[in-house]
Structure 1
Amino acid sequence: MSGFSNMFMKSILFTISFGLCVLYASAELHKFAHSSKHDGSLNFLVLGDWGRRGAYNQSEIAFQMGKVGEKLDIDFVVSTGDNFYDNGLTSDQDTAFEESFTNVYTAKSLQKQWYSVLGNHDYRGDVEAQLSPFLKQIDNRWLCLRSFIVDSELVEIFFVDTTPFVEKYFTETKHKYDWQGIIPQKSYITNLLKDLELAIKESTAQWKIVVGHHAIRSVGHHGDTQELIKQLLPILQENDVDFYMNGHDHCLEHISDTESSIQFLTSGAGSKAWRGDIQETNQGGLHFFYDGQGFMSVKLTQTDATIEFYDVSGNVLHRLTSSKNLRSSM
């Protein structure tokens, strides 16, 4: 089967299996339409680094997410990756999927679409298993792709597969990574960045959000991701991206970019946290850092964004508000 035919068949499979409206931003980035509310607003939760069969306060976080989700009448949930610990899924039959996802996020308000990217721990398992449409037959909330776009007209959210950017994963011997579909790495990243830049440039959404697993800026345990600073950040800065949201560091953070209006938001505290370290030399633009478990909510209208960080008890730890003028239709 030719490469074009193979891609066409995959597109048909995504359309049938996910039952969503699929548009096409480029050859590689599938675009999923997700309607805003009748008043034009949109609310969602952001969670990362969570899948531990309910342990390390994962279940407690899920409970509070349910309460906040109901209060905000959320439209969907965003996962910033590291969905299943320690080493991803072994297959699309792995019971960890239900034990860490279906059986944990049981609140009525969380029975909405989940949009998920892969983290480095997910790459230690069978990546194709997490991407498999079969998982949606087990739990119809699940949608995980390497890179894709969610378009609600009010906002476009660009999900980026960041693990292949990180060079150390290709050389370390402690863990084995599933690079099927990634090699050659350089070509994969080049094509992804080309498609992403084109999609962001063409976006007419009032808000532009990019989601990846790895932090661009972080004062947490892992710190900045130099490969993303070099290759991804310039694209975001040049194309009026409002927020970059990530996980990886098991904490909650808000850092302002010192060279643009981008706000870096870390929500990677869905289960195991409390590392107990902070990088004192990397605090430029830091507004908020919390070393414990928690999650994030996002409320968007045409002119205002409100982002709140919650701890394991549901307390609001930090609030970010941002306003902008209506984007011209010209």
Structure 2
Amino acid sequence: MLAMACFQKQKTPFICLTILTLVFWLNWVPSVAELQRLEHHGKSDESLGFLVIGDWGRGGLYNQSEIAFQMGRIGKKLDIDFVISTGDNFYDNGLKGVNDPAFQESFTKIYSQKSLQKPWYSILGNHDYRGDAKAQLNPMLRKIDSRWICLRSFTLNTGSADFFFMDTTPFVDVYFTDPEERVYDWRGIYPREIYLNNLLKDLDSALRNSTAEWKIVVGHHAIRSISHHGDTLELIDQLLPVLEMNGVDFYVNGHDHCLQRISCPDNRIQFLTSGAGSKAWRGDDKKHDKCAVHFFYDGQGFMSMQLKSTEAKMVFYDVFGQPIHQWSVSRMLHSEM
């Protein structure tokens, strides 16, 4: 837009070049390292507890408020350290800006219980990119609610576990080739190929350098799923090989509005979907011809995870806060208990 205006108004080549350079650097070139580094110091015994919720921001509707209440109850019981949001934080079209009242109406006022007044480590989903994506990333939101920590991609070191939060939406081709007349806020990720290459290189380096007992990757889109969206082929092709080569234990995602646990015979990763924070898709499930589906639930709910140096315990909860599936994994044996 600026470039066209520049030449239409017949400005001098020097001025045009200056404008184009500013546009290029401010909006189109990704940073050299996409993964920012954060630390969270937990309990003295290095144990860790947290909740995982995705696809939630609907102003309390579609049982979002009921789920929030049960999260508060479970969060208190488990003495959680933080909450992870797997994206699609504000429906249907993200935030309009940093002063959008949806931030408080769908986040601050809903997740108000004491046990949830902990850091919320969040990433963007495809619906968040349909609004002002940079608004969710703006540190100004922390002045409204200090819990909110949202970055495109980042690592979180807690001692016994390292978390790797990945911006998965730019991987998915359909948002670029067939956006269905929707406008996505792609500022900051162009050129797309360079952005994705840098992201994968930085993830690979961070995973290889990690000495944590547990390696957990968080993204919005599912790698493996039997629900509405199914497997994300672009992530299978580009992201999954990096996870397999670097001994990742869990891949945690949202996007499909369900709870599910899947594992595949060709790697040790467990694929965990927690995208049931509000509206769910009843009866929308498929079979999987390559992987084992250990659990699938097509109602609203959330997940908890408790980590120790040698054991991880996971639980899926329904809208009433009842455990509907739980299991544990030994880090020493790396087998299901």
Kindly report structure 1 stretches of 4+ aligned residues shifted beyond 3 Å. none
Within 1, Cα distance between the matches of 2:185 and 2:281? 29
Within 2, Cα distance between the matches of 1:325 and 1:278? 34
In the alignment, what sits opposite 1:98? 104
Please list every run of 5 or more consecutive structure 1 residues that lacks an aligned counterpart in the other structure: 8-25
Q: 1:171 aligns with which of 162, 177, 202?
A: 177
Q: 1:233 aligns with which of 234, 240, 255?
A: 240
DSSP-derived class of the 1:310 partner? strand
Within 2, Cα distance between the matches of 1:148 and 1:131? 12
* Contact 1:208 1:242 survives alignment (8 Å): yes
In the alignment, what sits opposite 1:203? 210
Q: Does 2:330 match 1:323?
A: yes
Q: 2:320 aligns with which of 302, 310, 313?
A: 313
Within 2, Cα distance between the matches of 1:78 and 1:269? 13
Q: 2:74 aligns with which of 61, 68, 75?
A: 68
Within 2, Cα distance between the matches of 1:309 and 1:177? 32
Within 2, Cα distance between the matches of 1:67 and 1:139? 21
Q: Does 2:129 match 1:123?
A: yes
DSSP-derived class of the 2:162 partner? strand
DSSP-derived class of the 1:276 partner? coil
Q: 1:89 aligns with which of 92, 95, 100?
A: 95
Q: 1:243 aligns with which of 250, 261, 264?
A: 250
Query: What is the one-letter code of the residue matched to 1:74?
Result: I
Deviation at 1:40, TM superposition (A): 1.5
Deviation at 1:277, TM superposition (A): 1.2
Q: 1:32 aligns with which of 31, 38, 52?
A: 38
In the alignment, what sits opposite 1:223? 230
Q: 1:188 aligns with which of 195, 207, 217?
A: 195
Moved more, 72-81 or 313-322: 313-322
Query: What is the one-letter code of the residue matched to 2:195?
Result: Y
DSSP-derived class of the 1:38 partner? coil
Within 2, Cα distance between the matches of 1:153 and 1:40? 7
Within 2, Cα distance between the matches of 1:311 and 1:282? 27
Q: Does 2:264 match 1:257?
A: yes
* Contact 1:206 1:326 survives alignment (8 Å): no
DSSP-derived class of the 1:194 partner? helix
Deviation at 1:39, TM superposition (A): 1.5
Q: Does 2:303 match 1:287?
A: no
* Contact 2:47 2:307 survives alignment (8 Å): yes
* Contact 1:219 1:283 survives alignment (8 Å): no
Deviation at 1:29, TM superposition (A): 1.4
Query: What is the one-letter code of the residue matched to 2:111?
Result: Y
Please list every run of 5 or more consecutive structure 2 residues that lacks an aligned counterpart in the other structure: 1-17, 27-31
What's the RMSD between the two structures over aligned residues?
1.9
Equivalenced residue count is 307
In the alignment, what sits opposite 2:56? 50
Q: TM-score, normalised by structure 2?
A: 0.88
In the alignment, what sits opposite 2:220? 213
- CA gap 1:326/1:226 in 2 versus in 1, 3 angstroms: closer
Within 2, Cα distance between the matches of 1:324 and 1:171? 42
Query: What is the one-letter code of the residue matched to 2:59?
Result: R
DSSP-derived class of the 2:91 partner? coil
* Contact 2:33 2:199 survives alignment (8 Å): no
* Contact 1:77 1:114 survives alignment (8 Å): yes
Q: Deviations over 1:46-104 (max 9, x none)?
A: 00000000000000000000000000000000000000000000000000000000000
Query: What is the one-letter code of the residue matched to 2:323?
Result: V
Query: What is the one-letter code of the residue matched to 1:47?
Result: I
Deviation at 1:184, TM superposition (A): 1.2
Structure label with greater radius of gyration? 2
